[in-house]
Structure 1
Amino acid sequence: MNLMRGYDVCCGLENLAVYVERGEESLPQFKYSPEHVSGPGADQDPSEITYLGCDCVSTSCRPDSCSCLQHHGESYDENLCLRDCEGKETDFSRPVFECNVMCKCSEACKNRVVQRGLGYRLQIFKGGPKGWGLHTLEFIPKGRFVCQYAGEVIGLAEARRRLQSQKPGDMNYLIAVKEHIGGGKMIETFVDPAVVGNVGRFLNHSCQPNLFMVPVRVNSVVPKLALFAGRDILAGEELMYDYSGRYKNVTEKASVQETTDMDLVERKPCYCGAETCSGFLPFDISVMNSG
């Protein structure tokens, strides 16, 4: 592989440099940020510290004594792999809260994973109808953190405005993450890395992905959108996730109104090549609705 050693897409802001396989002459122009930044309409500043820390003085926190772990349980095992809820391979619905800058535990605490940044060598490449993509240069075990999807955190009105102003040929980087918190309530986070973002913006969609996204909170109530390996990933494999937020094509039935509204949207074709490919890229019609 031809690595452009003189050009780090991350501008030295990550633990590891990320190079472009075949040159950077046509790489999209954007400002690199390893973390979220506050954008128009954001309810919360993602850089604001909003969580109290634990008083643990041990090297790594224990669930019987750590205030962070007592609330939500252990999220990672001894190998720093994300735990599932009940031993189910695709069930990663447990809230993830890592120890933060206010905690007294050491940087080696195993409840500090996503905040450590990139841990695997990644490379940007271009080829085929999908355009730019991201692959790994080394083996990644199942459950390990790979990278964040970071960008501008914006409000619903701004997300709708940006989608409505897009032309048919424009790339859509905006993602809407919905978290159900009980009592019929839901938290929505809108992230757009089109202008300010990180290496996650180069990830392509797949209907049978090898990554899945989990909202992880560290210092702020605004979640980091963390991507973990859903299976063992071999060196050289393209890294992909399902833009709809699902994993292994576990689908939910759309309502009649959503199906009708979707007929009015010009869907973009999906080129993932999976056996279960739906033929179109996912699109959250609720962002476009005025309600």
Structure 2
Amino acid sequence: MGSNSVAPTQDLNLYLSLPTSSNTTVIPKLEPLDGPPPPLQVPISPSPASLPTPSPPESDVYSEYDRISDLFRSAFAQRMEKYKDVSVPDSDENPMAIVPVENPDDQLTNVELTPRGRARKFPPRSSELVRVTDIKPEDLCYHRDVIRKNRMLFDSLRVFIVAEDEKHRDLLGFRKARGDLKAAALLRDYGLWLNRDKRIVGDLPGVSIGDVFFFRMELCIVGLHGQVQAGIDYVPASRSSNGEPIATSVIVSGGYEDDEDSGDVIIYTGHGGQDNKHRQIQHQRLEQGNLALERSMNYGIEVRVIRGFKYEGGATDKVYVYDGLYRIVETWFDVGKSGFGVFKFKLVRIENQVEMGSAVMKLAKSLRKNPLDARPNGYVTLDLSMKKEKFPVFFFNDVDEDNDPLYYEYLSTTIFPSFVYNTGSQTGCQCHEGCSDNCFCAMKNGGEFAYDRSGILVRGKPLIFECGPHCRCPPTCRNRVTQKGIKYRLEVFRSRETGWGVRSLDLIQAGSFICEYAGVVLTQDQVQIFTMNGDSLIHPSRFGDRWAEWGDLSQIFSDYVRPAYPSIPPLDFAMDVSRMRNVACYMSHSSSPNAMVQFVLYDHNNLSFPHLMVFAMENIPPLREISLDYGVADELTGKLALCN
């Protein structure tokens, strides 16, 4: 980022430098939690009276370390304890004990219970308001990659925690782990929350309009919205140089009955006066978050708007979408539906921004139901696969008359030479009701399954063995993921930027299987002949080793080692996609891709000829282009670079 790209934002004194001051009591505008409410903090020593108290918005980071007395006696606990992350309590300790924490110390804003039971001190969020301007394209890509890697670490850690919990849940009867809370707490313990040194007004570099978050904690981790549950994020008056609060972002999720949302215009209800069932029972006051919104209106400071709404089929039943910048143009005090006085704020979306992510998701929903009604022009065919896939593959082109994808025979899976099926072991597992952690196929994968019970990839590996035709486990076995085919509605489309591209009409969760990269496998002798003919070839060995990034917990575990087992020999085959191909062949190249290739075996055991399976490396919103790292550029692939 250039030296002139960060500027203090304006308020009463035009250019503010907001120093840290004492804490203030904040009653936030609360939004519904993602799932059951987490436990409060566990008692720490020394006595509560001698410890600093966090200001409420900052202290409410839900470190869900209940249930650790048995769960963390597992191998996971021992490993984490080795890295000085968690200690296993004695059997007579009560991990559910709750005590309040007092704080007379103005220098600290947070004291939390770390996994080892120590009180750790975190620096406060900055109160200095800045706006990022004139950011260069290369800087934007850099910040995008920082956000991408941070979110990927969160997702990898969350999935790993949940997978470890699942190993013991059936035996010990624990409820499902809140992996998002645990992962967020660990990231904060290691200082991996972003954008805390400056309070950014406006767009956050690296976060794009339309980005989707399954968990509220993700918003805090990247700095998009710094409150764990409060709907208004702001710099409190006690930390402002002029003694006035300034709002930076709001979450609109229908938590208040007087909210009105028409997209570009929002009537946003202030905070306060509600009971724990979100019923208005008192008049609201012009203070704290309400006053911050009013002051932001007065000084013309824009706010980020994140919408939260229900979404079926995801990691949670609710998602959060960043919809861009809004200005507060009007505020008034009114009688709400419950008969109590409420403050209302009219927010209007700033012009010349890309389409709202929530609007794109609504369009995608309409396309899933009736594509021709939602988008009457541009569809060439509603199933490029000709019913070879479980879900139809749409083909859309509203750019030109090029219908080239129609002239290829569609493959639902890769075609291997016949000799591939006659090599390797023909032994399978003997699990009649589904595979267990110590079965034959688990041992082939190094003693652990690659997927959690939801089919999410826990950690990338050089090779994954799925259960195959010689296994006795049912089709519902957790170790049969990629062989079931696609589970998202994909669309090949004509792009002005990258030629052909692929996008999904569904929201794809990070770690999910998307589709196979299919073609006709050629041996090296055949490759030489086909190359001379100018045919389009894909070389599996050239794909970037992005699988090593998914599940990389080296920033958490100091002796983390990149997986090397199951090992795989150098791949010297190529895939011909000049006549027969599938939807993945139209995916664009990116040096910061949102998807990766993972090698998988299931229908044969020849290590030299794995399937190329595509998995999501991040949450991919509907209608956002899917990209891969093709590694060494190959002119014959015709892939153009895409900066996600």
User: What TM-score results when the alignment is normalised by the length of structure 2?
Assistant: 0.34
Work out whether residues 499 and 640 of structure 2, in 8 Å CA contact, stay in contact via their aligned partners in 1. Answer: no
1:165 maps onto 2:533 in alignment: yes
Letter in 2 for 1:174: I
3-state SS of paired residue (1:209): coil
Match in the other structure for 1:204: 588
Q: Which moved more, 1:5-14 or 1:229-238?
A: 5-14
Rounded Cα–Cα distance in structure 2 between residues aligned with 1:83 and 1:231: 13
Offset, 1:156 = 1.4
Match in the other structure for 1:249: none
Query: Structure 2 vs 1, CA of residues 50 and 77 (structure 1 numbering), >3 Å: closer, same or farther?
Result: same
Match in the other structure for 1:279: none
1:176 maps onto 2:553 in alignment: no
Query: Structure 2 vs 1, CA of residues 273 and 18 (structure 1 numbering), >3 Å: closer, same or farther?
Result: closer
Match in the other structure for 2:396: 21
Q: 2:468 aligns with which of 100, 124, 128?
A: 100
3-state SS of paired residue (2:387): coil
Offset, 1:268 = 8.9
Rounded Cα–Cα distance in structure 2 between residues aligned with 1:184 and 1:105: 25
Letter in 1 for 2:520: E
1:31 maps onto 2:409 in alignment: yes
Match in the other structure for 2:643: 274
The RMSD of aligned alpha carbons is: 3.3
Rounded Cα–Cα distance in structure 1 between residues aligned with 2:437 and 2:591: 36
Match in the other structure for 2:480: 112
Q: How does 1:259-270 map to 2 (within 5 A)?
A: none
Match in the other structure for 2:510: 142
Work out whether residues 173 and 201 of structure 1, in 8 Å CA contact, stay in contact via their aligned partners in 2. Answer: no
Higher helix share: 2
Rounded Cα–Cα distance in structure 2 between residues aligned with 1:153 and 1:77: 30
User: What TM-score results when the alignment is normalised by the length of structure 1?
Assistant: 0.72
Query: Structure 2 vs 1, CA of residues 271 and 74 (structure 1 numbering), >3 Å: closer, same or farther?
Result: same
1:217 maps onto 2:579 in alignment: no
Letter in 2 for 1:144: S
Query: Structure 2 vs 1, CA of residues 273 and 25 (structure 1 numbering), >3 Å: closer, same or farther?
Result: closer
Letter in 2 for 1:27: D
Rounded Cα–Cα distance in structure 2 between residues aligned with 1:105 and 1:184: 25
Query: Structure 2 vs 1, CA of residues 122 and 61 (structure 1 numbering), >3 Å: closer, same or farther?
Result: same
Query: Structure 2 vs 1, CA of residues 27 and 269 (structure 1 numbering), >3 Å: closer, same or farther?
Result: closer
Match in the other structure for 2:519: 151
Work out whether residues 414 and 519 of structure 2, in 8 Å CA contact, stay in contact via their aligned partners in 1. Answer: yes
3-state SS of paired residue (1:201): helix
Which protein is bigger by CA-based radius of gyration? 2
Query: Structure 2 vs 1, CA of residues 208 and 192 (structure 1 numbering), >3 Å: closer, same or farther?
Result: same
Letter in 2 for 1:26: N
Rounded Cα–Cα distance in structure 2 between residues aligned with 1:269 and 1:189: 20
Offset, 1:191 = 1.4
Number of equivalent positions: 241
Superposed CA offset, 1:44-102 (max 9, x none): 446989642211012x21122x2111221211012211121xxxxxxx23420000122
Query: Structure 2 vs 1, CA of residues 97 and 208 (structure 1 numbering), >3 Å: closer, same or farther?
Result: same
Q: How does 1:47-62 map to 2 (within 5 A)?
A: 51-58=426-433, 60-62=434-436
1:77 maps onto 2:77 in alignment: no
Q: How does 1:242-257 map to 2 (within 5 A)?
A: 242-244=629-631
Q: Which moved more, 1:155-164 or 1:140-149?
A: 155-164
3-state SS of paired residue (1:186): coil
Rounded Cα–Cα distance in structure 2 between residues aligned with 1:186 and 1:98: 20
Superposed CA offset, 1:240-285 (max 9, x none): 101118xxxxxxxxxxxxxxxx9xx98999742428xxxxxxxxxx
Work out whether residues 175 and 192 of structure 1, in 8 Å CA contact, stay in contact via their aligned partners in 2. Answer: no
Query: Structure 2 vs 1, CA of residues 70 and 25 (structure 1 numbering), >3 Å: closer, same or farther?
Result: same
Work out whether residues 51 and 219 of structure 1, in 8 Å CA contact, stay in contact via their aligned partners in 2. Answer: no
Match in the other structure for 1:192: 576
1:130 maps onto 2:498 in alignment: yes
Rounded Cα–Cα distance in structure 2 between residues aligned with 1:106 and 1:18: 28
Query: Structure 2 vs 1, CA of residues 49 and 200 (structure 1 numbering), >3 Å: closer, same or farther?
Result: farther
Work out whether residues 48 and 219 of structure 1, in 8 Å CA contact, stay in contact via their aligned partners in 2. Answer: no
1:236 maps onto 2:623 in alignment: yes
Offset, 1:187 = 3.5
Rounded Cα–Cα distance in structure 2 between residues aligned with 1:146 and 1:8: 17
Letter in 2 for 1:201: C
Query: Structure 2 vs 1, CA of residues 273 and 145 (structure 1 numbering), >3 Å: closer, same or farther?
Result: closer
Rounded Cα–Cα distance in structure 1 between residues aligned with 2:435 and 2:594: 30
Query: Structure 2 vs 1, CA of residues 46 and 228 (structure 1 numbering), >3 Å: closer, same or farther?
Result: farther
Work out whether residues 215 and 225 of structure 1, in 8 Å CA contact, stay in contact via their aligned partners in 2. Answer: yes
Work out whether residues 463 and 568 of structure 2, in 8 Å CA contact, stay in contact via their aligned partners in 1. Answer: no
3-state SS of paired residue (1:243): coil
Query: Structure 2 vs 1, CA of residues 117 and 61 (structure 1 numbering), >3 Å: closer, same or farther?
Result: same
Match in the other structure for 1:257: none
Query: Structure 2 vs 1, CA of residues 185 and 120 (structure 1 numbering), >3 Å: closer, same or farther?
Result: closer
Q: Which moved more, 1:98-107 or 1:23-32?
A: 23-32
Q: Which moved more, 1:19-28 or 1:110-119?
A: 19-28
Query: Structure 2 vs 1, CA of residues 227 and 164 (structure 1 numbering), >3 Å: closer, same or farther?
Result: same
